Amino acid sequence: FGSPDTDPAPEWQAGLRVSWPVFTGGARARAVERAEAEASAARADALLAAREVADAVDRALVAYRSARARVEALEAAVAQSEEVARIEALALEPGAGVQTDYLRAEAELLQARAGLAEARHGVVEARVRLAQATGELTPEWLLRMTEGVER
């Protein structure tokens, strides 16, 4: 071996050691089985989540359609109540009608209009829930949906 006084060339050594246990008592096999089980559980969780999302979308869609049908029915009821109130008002002019009939018709008209307003609110709420279930609900979506609405 050289000494620093006599040999100016430095001496280098390098080594590599690889260790691979031949027998691990089945630890590797158990680790593989555990990883496969975790992957299977993750797939099952993903499938369950997809089903839950699909169910939420279905429920929201049914609620939206139901709310729309209620609005349509109440629009017809309002139109009918308006006509009844108009007829009762006309009957009052020549004195053939009874004022209580007219007042009852007006009250029913106001109730129908209030129900219609509530039903329209239900449509908006159901549409927002549907957008939430489908992943469409964003601030931009809300702005698009409220364009033209008085604030």
Q: Which of 52, 57, 51 is closest to 131 using CA atoms?
A: 57
* pTM of the predicted structure, to 2 decimals: 0.68
Give pairs for 84-92: CB < 8 Å, separation 24+: 84/108, 84/109, 85/109
- Helices assigned H by DSSP within the chain: 27-92, 99-134, 139-145
For the chain, give the longest Cα–Cα distance: 137
The predicted pLDDT at position 27 comes to 82
The predicted pLDDT at position 137 comes to 92
- Residue pair 89/62 in contact by the 8 Å Cβ criterion: no
Coil vs helix vs strand at 2: coil
The predicted pLDDT at position 14 comes to 79
pLDDT tens for the chain, 151 residues long, are 555 566 666 677 778 888 777 777 778 889 899 999 999 999 999 999 999 999 999 999 999 999 999 999 999 999 999 999 999 998 888 777 788 999 999 999 999 999 999 999 999 999 999 999 999 999 999 899 888 776 6
**Residue 102: CB partners within 8 Å, gap ≥ 6?**
85, 88, 89, 91, 92
